[in-house]
């Protein structure tokens, strides 16, 4: 009886194939989070070639391979192939240090081929290396991008894993494509979830100056306020994307944030960067329609939030202050869009109230993580043992804001209806603040308080009452 021939080796790509991400891009954002100066130094290494750049990134900024979004269906297929005695090879353009750590974590590969700091193992270079080792048609290959075309042409059989449209087009008509693994389908819901469109309600603050000036029903000012709302919404969404790119390692280790589109791999880094570019471009286009002062306010808002993403968010209380300032800038932006002077009292009230709301978010996160991490729970620059202080500062800040708003209604508003409306808003905000802090203390708020408020019946009623009270200022 003849001896059965051993199956040919199965060679697997890493970026976009074994994992739903690009490790070089991930390393770049990890480095950006650590030091902007080091990011600028990358230009020196880029002049030496992509292999040198990848080696430098691998030395100073590696993602956590244990939390990477691996393709489950492909892993199941590889395990089955391994049980049949097949040789599995990880061949990647990523740096060899990261590639070996991935291989060790997965525990399936017999050989690792990767970039070594001198040679960039990608495209034709990878194809030549594999042909040298196994001969043309002496291996099967699993890949996903257009740069894999030269390798696919030399392979016996090809497995396409979440293939790009360019790869599909290049390989159209090829008879050696054995199977296609499509785990992630395009869904508009994924993009809406990532830009956090439900947070756009926060930007309704741009309409408050319109209310304060009692011009809500005038078409021209209303149009300007609507454009300001759209600009702030798109700008905020671009910042959410940037923040999530910087926070990929920590989000994947978080019990709740790991399910976000970017962290889970449902949205690629390339897709996120393209979406961020579209959002910023749309923001600029809208801002050019409005007065120049609005662009200045919006630019300040963007710069503050970029600084927040790059490190300020790890500084206790300063992070909450920046978030509170962001809400004040929304009000200032609304006034600038209408060519109105920003009322100082309104900016101070909003800064204090939303500073307290930002601390509520940190407090809720600490209480939520306590059940997972115990006494060692930490959120950004806050530790669980500081929760009582956060509770105190947050509630006092909110109460002070409501008090100042009430004093404004008493001393400034002349019409009885306007005064009653302001005092009613104060009473509603006071009740809602007490309710939200109570919910946070009970561990009912998981994640963002605004997202909780959308689902919370009490908050929905409070929102309706607030709108009713605001109608008295129109």
> Is 10-181 CATH 3.40.50.1000?
yes
Rg of the chain taking only CA atoms, in angstroms: 27
Q: What 3-state DSSP class applies to 113?
A: strand
Q: In Å, what is the CA distance from 434 to each residue of 390, 441, 444?
A: 15, 11, 14
pLDDT in the model for residue 46? 76
Residue 301 and residue 316: Cα distance in Å, rounded? 20
Locate 278 and state its tokens: 């579209």
More confident residue, 220 or 186: 220
Summarised one tens digit per residue, pLDDT across range 81-129 is 999 999 999 999 999 999 999 999 999 999 999 999 899 999 999 999 9
Summarised one tens digit per residue, pLDDT across range 414-431 is 677 778 888 999 999 999
Closest among 469, 352, 449 to 399, alpha carbons compared: 352
User: What sign results for the dihedral spanned by CA atoms 278, 283, 284, 286?
Assistant: positive
More confident residue, 370 or 70: 70
Helix (H) or strand (E) holding 180: strand 177-181
pLDDT in the model for residue 414? 64
Residue 269 and residue 247: Cα distance in Å, rounded? 12
Summarised one tens digit per residue, pLDDT across range 32-91 is 888 877 788 787 777 788 888 888 888 888 889 999 999 999 999 999 999 999 999 999
pLDDT at 413 over 80: no
pLDDT at 1 over 60: no
Q: What 3-state DSSP class applies to 138?
A: coil
Locate 395 and state its tokens: 């509630």
pLDDT in the model for residue 474? 60
pLDDT at 4 over 50: no
pLDDT at 437 over 90: yes
> Is 195-473 CATH 2.102.10.10?
no
Closest among 234, 228, 231, 229 to 337, alpha carbons compared: 228
DSSP string, 242-259: HHHHHTHHHHHTSTTGGG
Residue 148 and residue 127: Cα distance in Å, rounded? 8
pLDDT in the model for residue 473? 63
pTM of the model: 0.84
Domain boundary assignment for the chain: 10-181, 195-473
What is the pLDDT confidence band of residue 394, given thresholds at 50, 70 and 90?
A: very high
Summarised one tens digit per residue, pLDDT across range 208-262 is 888 777 777 788 899 999 999 999 999 999 999 999 999 998 889 887 788 899 9
Q: Are 167 and 35 in contact (CB under 8 A)?
A: no
Residue 169 and residue 165: Cα distance in Å, rounded? 6
């Amino acid at each position: 009886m003849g001896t059965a021939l051993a199956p040919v080796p199965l060679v697997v790509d890493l970026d976009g194939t074994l994992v739903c991400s690009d490790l070089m891009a991930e390393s770049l954002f990890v480095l950006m989070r650590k030091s902007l100066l080091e990011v600028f130094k990358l230009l020196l290494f880029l002049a030496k070639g992509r292999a040198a750049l990848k080696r430098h990134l691998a030395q100073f900024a590696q993602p956590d391979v244990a939390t990477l979004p691996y393709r489950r269906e492909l892993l199941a297929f590889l395990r089955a192939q391994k049980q049949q005695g097949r040789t599995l090879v990880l061949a990647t353009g990523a740096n060899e240090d990261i590639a070996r750590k991935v291989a060790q974590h997965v525990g399936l590969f017999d050989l690792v081929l990767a970039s070594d700091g001198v040679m960039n193992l990608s495209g034709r270079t990878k194809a030549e290396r594999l042909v040298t080792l196994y001969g043309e048609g002496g291996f099967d290959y699993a890949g996903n991008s257009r740069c894999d075309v030269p390798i696919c042409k030399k392979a016996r059989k090809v497995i396409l894993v979440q293939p790009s449209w360019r790869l599909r087009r290049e390989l159209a008509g090829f008879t050696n494509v054995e199977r296609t693994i499509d785990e992630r389908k395009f869904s508009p819901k994924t993009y809406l979830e990532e830009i956090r469109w439900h947070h756009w309600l926060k930007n309704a603050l741009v309409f408050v100056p319109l209310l304060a000036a009692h011009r809500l029903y005038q078409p021209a000012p209303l149009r300007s306020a609507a454009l300001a709302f759209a600009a702030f919404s798109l700008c905020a969404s671009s910042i959410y994307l940037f923040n999530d790119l910087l926070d990929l390692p920590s989000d994947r280790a978080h019990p709740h944030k790991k399910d976000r589109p970017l962290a889970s791999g449902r949205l690629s880094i390339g897709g996120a960067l393209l979406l961020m570019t579209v959002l910023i471009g749309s923001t600029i286009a809208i801002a050019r329609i409005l007065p120049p002062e609005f662009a200045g306010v919006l630019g300040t808002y963007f710069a503050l939030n970029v600084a927040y993403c790059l490190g300020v968010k790890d500084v206790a209380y300063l992070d909450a202050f920046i978030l509170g300032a962001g809400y004040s800038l929304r009000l200032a932006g609304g006034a600038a869009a209408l060519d109105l002077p920003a009322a100082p009292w309104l900016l101070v009230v909003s800064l204090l109230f939303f500073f307290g709301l930002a601390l509520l978010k940190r407090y809720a996160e600490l209480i939520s993580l306590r059940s997972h991490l115990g006494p060692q729970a930490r959120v950004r620059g806050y530790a669980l043992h500081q929760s009582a202080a956060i509770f105190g500062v947050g509630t006092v800040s909110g109460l002070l804001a409501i008090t100042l708003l009430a004093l404004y209604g008493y001393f400034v508003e002349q019409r009885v209806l306007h005064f009653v409306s302001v005092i009613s808003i104060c009473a509603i905000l006071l009740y809602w603040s007490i309710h939200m802090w109570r919910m946070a203390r009970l561990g009912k708020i998981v994640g963002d308080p605004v997202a909780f408020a959308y689902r919370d019946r009490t908050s929905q009623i409070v929102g309706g009452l607030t709108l009713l009270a605001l109608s008295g200022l129109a």
